[in-house]
Amino acid sequence: MDVPIVIDYDNNNSILLANNLIYHVRTKHIEVHYHFVRKKVLAREINLIHVNTEDQIVDIFTKALDTDKLKRF
């Protein structure tokens, strides 16, 4: 059984845009990698899940964390 790749993401608008079947002229400026992800979402190969910014584990690699958040991760 093929299971979609789950990606935790903290931007609701991007998730909605990737799941929207309607092409908007306002999104014309978005680069090619967005369209790649969108095709994979629509093909159900990728599943974008919303995660609150406070719970974004990848922050440990990209931001300076306070002691509480560092201990939680």
Expressed as residue numbers, the domain containing 27 is 5-72
pTM: predicted TM-score of the whole model, two decimal places: 0.56
- How many separate domains does the chain show? 1
User: Which tokens go with 46?
Assistant: 């990728």
Separation of first and last alpha carbons in the chain: 31
β partners of residue 47 = 6
**C-alpha–C-alpha distance, residues 50 and 42, integer Å:** 17
* Mean pLDDT score of the chain: 78
| Least confident piece of the model among 12-16, 31-35, 42-46, 48-52 | 31-35
Chain position carrying tokens 């599943």: 47
